[in-house]
Amino acid sequence: MQSDLLQTVKQRAQAWLNTASIDEETKKQVKNMMENDENELVESFYRDLEFGTGGLRGIMGAGTNRMNIYTVGMATQGLCNYLLKQFAGKEIKVALAHDSRNNGRTFCEAAARIFVANGIKVYLFDSLRPTPELSFAIRYLGCQSGVVVTASHNPKEYNGYKVYWDDGAQIIAPHDTNIINEVQKITSVDEVKWGKGNDGITIIGDDVDKPYLERIKALTLSPEIIAKHKDMKIVYTPIHGTGVRLVPASLKNYGFENIIHVDAQDVSDGNFPTVKSPNPEEPAAMAMAIEKAKETGAELVIATDPDADRVGIAAKNNKGEFELLNGNQTGSILIYYLLNKWKENGKLKGKEFIVKTIVTTELLAAMAKDFGVEYYDVLTGFKFIADAIKRNEGKKQFIGGGEESYGYLCGDFVRDKDAVMSSSLIAEAAAWAFSQGKSLFDLLAEIYVRYGFYREKLINVVKKGKSGAEEIQQMMTDFRSNPPKQIAGSEVVCIKDYKLGKAVDQKTKAETEITLPKSNVLQFITADGTIVSVRPSGTEPKIKFYIGTKMPLANASEYQAVANKLNDKIAAICSDLKLA
């Protein structure tokens, strides 16, 4: 370890020990690291926990690079300072929520007191709530901003702090960079206005739950089909998170009467005791729910992550075995259902649109074109889907949208991905398929026959700590300076660099401007239509490789054979990129 780095870290740690505002228990933890664990000391103090474009996310613990009430407090003070400048002379209101993670309530209440100490009115949920309900509450209560304390589907060691603006969406330019600047001006814990008591804090709960659930219910497109299939057995698990409060309630509100719980996972617990990772993208996180479905003869399995903004599902395939659908497949089924029902119900007037991210399946674009519906591609992050909705407000009608990472949205009264809403509409889509004598997998095959068999895979390469962050940046540098010329035998014909804002034809070297905001993303497009996107995660210590392929599917009977070919192709791509 470099002696100068260690010396700097020790100085930063000592500064904490000398800070009057920091409690004795935290100081004790810092002293223990200084005396017994230099590696942990470096990881905890080598930098300030970065307040990024979405807020904070990090491992909980003592230190400037950890999630604790002091890093949360400094972030909150910076946000307060920005709000007071932005809405000078006006009453400012914020809404606050948290999920089931450890310290969530503590961080939320600390933030609430700081807002109040700065003269800002606070609406605080009485207990844990889904992230999308926080988005709804901001709009419903006329707030200027909001915060949800969550680390989404990260491991139990993490927590986070996501900031929202007055439209109910996560912050984007210019507010994101402006808030970051204000947060960076807070250089000491002693600069935070640490409030005391609960004066100025209004507790909210059922008074927001009810209108939120009613707005979700109003999205239903097939009430008569649900009535016929009200006994459809649905296994639901919140994986120890907030979904337990509202997902079953929403399903019942829609008319589904046979909701089967996974009792051990209904317990809201930030240690997530029954899973290694509370992520519905991980097969292991769905295992208990699938087992319950087998025991009870259920047709559909639904799982939501800790803050109930992402949803994963499993359904019976043609062999009668439960199979997990990935985020692209679930999103495709949902959008296909919505487009069909909007058309059938006479709701397509020529001014409707859907939105997807640039790393989400191109199948959604193909469907939109087929139905004569406009579609938008946006950068990764649901805040950009929300921005597309905002830009078209009053001019065009948003049908739905989503991203490959298991997040979907319909309607415009929430401006973030919503697993409460999506769970109900996915169940409705399943009932719609059943009413035609089809399973969800039959429906998926029907989509692939009509538009082509799209197959995607996400590869996460984890690089932890300071050295890992540097390694990820070097990987992006290497891809830019020495990009692949062919991938799995197919020539790379176009490279899109979203950081530079240009797409380059590899034969003619002609450049086309990319009009989206700048972002550290590369896309390699091959002659056979394969798309490989490379992007460092903004919230986790990993670099992500999104692989998208496509082949024709003549009929449903060839489903497995074509799936195998696509899987082989993806394996070859991984091998070429040294991801295998």
Is there a contact between 162 and 55 (Cβ–Cβ < 8 Å)?
yes
CA distances to 29, 215, 375, 381 from 417, in Å? 37, 15, 17, 10
Element (H, E) at 245: helix 243-254
For CA atoms 69, 9, 463, 173, the dihedral sign is positive
Q: Where are the alpha helices (DSSP H) in 54-205?
A: 69-86, 104-117, 131-140, 175-185
222 is catalytic: no
Is there a contact between 164 and 171 (Cβ–Cβ < 8 Å)?
yes
Beta strands per DSSP E along 489-559:
490-497, 502-505, 511-513, 522-526, 531-536, 542-551
Q: What's the chain's length in residues?
A: 580
Is there a contact between 279 and 311 (Cβ–Cβ < 8 Å)?
no
Kindly give the interhelix angle for 419-435 and 243-254, rounded to the nearest 10 degrees. 40
Which of helix, strand or coil describes residue 200? coil
Q: Of 44, 145, 152, 222, which one is the catalytic site residue?
A: 152
> Residue 127: which of 205, 200, 202, 198 has the closest Cα?
205
Q: What is the DSSP pairing of strand 158-165 with strand 322-325? A: unpaired
Q: What is the DSSP pairing of strand 158-165 with strand 145-149? A: antiparallel
Element (H, E) at 517: none
**HSE of 193 in the Cβ direction (CA atoms, 13 Å)?**
16
Hey, which residues are catalytic here?
A: 152
